[in-house]
Amino acid sequence: MYNPNMALAIQMNQIEASIVYENDNALSLTCMDDFELGFRERRDVYLKFVTTGNEVNDQPIVEYPVLKEIENDIRRRNLRFRMKLDARITYGIEFLGWRTVSMMMNSYIVDLNVNIGDHHDSPMDGSNLIMMVTD
């Protein structure tokens, strides 16, 4: 993440990220700790998404029709996911004392490149190996 401002600090709060498929069908959710970006500061952010199918720990329930669509896309090797990031942000400026403005940011959405391994790359159980990356 990058704060290009030369005069404003940014505080990121209530940060929630999700992996979504098609029309915002959430497959996995994760939250991260609050942090601040100072003036012109850049910070790498690493997120870990896990889903077990047991719908525990506030993970979304993935409906059967969505799973079938994903299965069909895997067969066609045309699978697309996105990562969606939501947060409450506070802009702050030090001018005659700190002045702040708090707001919900517009969702930041990143398309993920999806690689589907062939049967030679697949795990021993015959399922497909799926890898998602972004720049």
Q: What is the pLDDT of residues 63-96, one digit of tens each?
A: 788 888 888 888 888 888 888 989 998 888 866 6
Residues in Cβ contact with 77 at an 8 Å cutoff, skipping those fewer than 6 apart: 116
The Cα–Cα gap between 33 and 63 comes to: 29
3-17, 51-65, 93-107, 113-127: which range is least confident on average?
113-127
State pTM to two decimals: 0.68
The Cα–Cα gap between 35 and 48 comes to: 17
Q: What is the pLDDT of residues 18-44, one digit of tens each?
A: 888 887 788 888 888 999 998 899 998
φ, ψ dihedrals at 51, nearest 5° = -140, 140
Q: Parse the chain into domains and list their residue ranges.
A: 9-133
Token pair 């199918």 in the structure block, residue: 53
